[in-house]
Structures are given as structure tokens and as C-alpha cells.
């Protein structure tokens, strides 16, 4: 059976890029999209930072006050989510012009399965180059693309040579492709996990590939097999189009494990708004909302709340999710490495 052709497309510095496109005077400047920094006293988080801002250490999900300390001369812009959502609609229309198998991860990121599109549009590389060119010509924006036989490897590939990347991993070369990469490149391995693995003498993906799974299980328990499979480039998940999905979710892994309640609340609010926009895009409503927290050490907990009536509005989601977050934080004060929500569709 021929291998699958999976694309992972990730818009480069999306919110900042839209603002720079619309105001060329911002080009070359450290543009930071987020809440008002209030001279370093503001609350909230960075949504996106331009590459010029990233040189100063600013990154998404960072407290806006910390961004100010790192880059006080930056251009701070309160994000316009309605504008970004409208541009996202245009991007996804371009994606869906080559395949119906489009799985959106956020407003600016998606998986495409183009396996069955070869006869109409050519091989995966041809499709990827065509999409990059259309997005640049029609929208004035740049997208990075990874091509592989599965989702995990395609996502890693798209991030390797940003901006304007096109990285191809031929089927059968996944192990060799991943082997020299730092462990943090694997999808789902954050700073704390990287530190734990380093304590075992594992620093690059090849080290993890060679490490006995039984020994890994002693340290990571039920997560050991998943870590090993990630290192080997194994991933059988299908691209799940949102129109066929029973649920739509979004999650964020923090650059550094987080204990700041305000930052967690601000991140949760952003996730709620993003998922609600994706639901509205397809005229869906959610009847149940799930909150997921992953603590330092990979322990993961979830909690659900019914939505009555069903909704696709961010404030409704946050009203349901915020008490669940407080429930978790009231029981456990460990640092959080990942927070996510999932909206289950109304039947």
C-alpha cells in the first residue's frame, strides 16, 4: 500500500504577520501581539511575537510583563481576533481547494491529507509549493510546510527551517530524520520531560531510540511506549476533518512549566475563544466542554462540564472551564506543563 502524504502547514508569526502586512511601517520591528503591557505591569499573555521580537527571547504564551522586561522598545499591539479569524477563513478555503481532509489545529495551523489528491494536483511537494505560492500571492502571507507519511513527523518537519520552510521526510526515513534532533523537537516533550530524560543520559532523539523501553517504563510508566514511538516516527492517527469530527479541541504546552494562576486563566480564555471560533466557522455548537491539565511529570487530569444550552461562544466556554481550572488548582499546586480544552459537538 502506498504511504500516506500528510502536510503540516503552519503560518509564520501569523497575527504579527497580518499586522505587518496591513501596516508595512512595522516591517523589521519587534512586533508583539497581546494585552497592554502597561509599562511592565500588565497582565495577560503574548499571543504572537514577530521574529525580530523573538531574538530578545519573547515568545507566545509568555506573560506580557515579562515580554516588556525583555523587549521594552517593542511595538505592542492588542490583537484583533475578528481580523485574524477572517484571514484564517481565507487560508482554510485555500487548503480545502486541494483536499477535503483538513484538520485545523488553530486559526493558523492545519494538517492536510493529500494522498488522494495526487491525480488532480500532483505529488505532495507539488501541492505544498502551490499552496505556499497561493497564500503568498493572494494573502501576502508566508506559510511553512512539513511533508511526511504521518502527522507527528510532518509537524516536526514544518518547524525545522522556519520561516518559509518546506521540509520533506520521505517515507521510510523517519528514524534517520529524527535521530540527530534535540528531544524537545518531539511533539509533546516539554522542558521538564527534557530535563528528566537528560537525567537518564538522553539528549537527542537517537538516544531515546536506543534506550530500552522497559528501562524507560521504570521512569515514565504508561507514557514510556508513547515516548519511544514518538522517537521512532510512528504515528497512525488519521487527519480528522472538523466537519466530520465529533469534537474540536485546542491545547498549549508552556515553554516553561507554569504556576502562575493569572497566566493559566489568560491562556484558558484564549483557548476558549479559539475553539469557539472554529465551531462557528462550521456552524457547530458544543454540548460538553472538557478541560485537560498536564502537570510536571506527565500526570494528566481531565474534567467535563455540560453546556446547557449548547453554545459556540467563547465567554460561555470560559464560564464553564474556569471553575474546573480552579478545582484543579485548589487540589494540586504543582506546575502545569499543558492546558487544553475540547468541545464535544451537539448530536
Catalytic residues: 109
Distance CA 345, CA 69 (A): 42
Beta bridge partners of 304: 290
Put residue 188 in one of left, alpha, beta given phi > 0 → left and psi -120 to 50 → alpha: left
| Cβ neighbours, 10 Å, residue 6 | 29
Helix pair 261-281, 81-95: axis angle to 10 deg? 50
* DSSP assignment of 24-36: GGGTTS-EEEES-
Q: Which of 192, 150, 143, 195 is nearest to 169 (CA)?
A: 150
- Long-range CB pairs of 294-298, under 8 A, 24+ apart, other chains included: 294/253, 294/336, 294/337, 294/338, 294/339, 295/332, 295/334, 295/335, 295/336, 295/337, 296/192, 296/257, 296/334, 296/335, 296/336, 296/337, 297/192, 297/196, 297/334, 298/193, 298/220, 298/223, 298/337
DSSP 8-state code for residue 183: G
Beta bridge partners of 111: 8, 103
Whole-number Cα distances in Å, 157 to 7, 98, 153? 10, 21, 6
| Contact indicator for 221, 95 with CB cutoff of 8 Å | no
Amino acid at each position: 500500500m502506498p504511504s500516506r502524504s500528510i502536510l503540516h502547514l503552519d503560518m509564520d508569526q501569523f497575527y504579527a504577520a497580518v499586522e505587518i502586512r496591513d501596516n508595512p511601517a512595522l516591517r523589521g520591528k519587534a512586533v508583539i501581539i497581546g494585552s497592554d503591557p502597561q509599562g511592565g505591569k500588565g497582565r495577560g499573555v503574548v499571543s504572537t511575537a514577530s521574529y525580530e521580537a523573538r531574538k530578545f527571547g519573547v515568545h507566545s504564551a509568555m506573560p506580557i510583563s515579562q515580554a516588556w522586561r525583555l523587549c521594552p522598545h517593542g511595538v505592542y499591539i492588542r490583537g484583533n481576533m475578528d481580523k485574524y479569524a477572517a484571514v484564517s477563513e481565507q487560508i482554510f478555503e485555500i487548503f480545502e481547494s486541494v483536499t477535503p481532509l483538513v484538520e485545523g489545529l488553530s486559526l493558523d495551523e492545519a494538517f492536510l491529507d493529500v494522498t488522494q489528491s495526487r491525480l488532480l494536483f500532483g505529488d505532495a511537494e507539488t501541492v505544498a509549493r502551490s499552496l505556499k505560492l497561493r497564500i503568498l500571492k493572494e494573502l501576502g502571507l508566508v506559510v511553512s510546510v512539513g511533508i511526511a507519511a504521518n502527522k507527528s513527523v510532518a509537524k516536526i518537519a514544518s518547524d525545522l527551517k522556519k520561516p518559509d520552510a518546506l521540509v520533506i521526510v520521505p517515507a521510510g526515513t523517519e528514524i534517520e530524520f529524527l535521530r540527530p534532533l534535540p528531544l524537545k523537537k518531539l511533539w509533546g516533550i516539554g522542558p521538564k520531560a527534557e530535563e528528566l530524560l537528560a537525567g537518564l543520559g538522553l539528549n537527542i532523539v537517537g538516544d531515546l531510540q536506543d534506550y530500552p523501553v522497559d528501562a524507560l517504563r521504570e521512569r515514565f510508566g504508561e507514557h514510556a511506549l508513547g515516548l519511544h514511538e514518538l522517537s521512532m516516527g510512528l504515528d497512525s492517527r488519521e487527519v480528522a476533518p472538523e466537519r466530520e469530527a465529533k469534537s474540536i479541541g485546542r491545547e498549549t504546552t508552556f515553554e516553561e512549566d507554569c504556576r502562575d494562576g493569572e497566566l493559566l486563566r489568560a491562556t484558558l480564555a484564549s483557548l476558549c475563544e479559539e475553539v469557539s471560533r472554529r465551531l462557528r466557522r462550521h456552524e457547530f455548537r458544543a454540548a460538553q466542554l472538557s478541560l485537560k491539565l498536564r502537570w510536571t511529570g506527565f500526570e494528566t487530569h481531565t474534567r467535563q462540564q455540560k453546556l446547557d444550552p449548547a453554545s459556540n461562544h467563547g465567554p460561555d466556554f470560559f464560564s464553564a472551564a474556569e471553575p474546573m481550572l480552579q478545582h484543579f488548582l485548589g487540589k494540586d499546586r504543582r506546575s502545569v506543563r499543558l492546558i487544553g480544552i475540547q468541545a464535544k459537538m451537539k448530536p
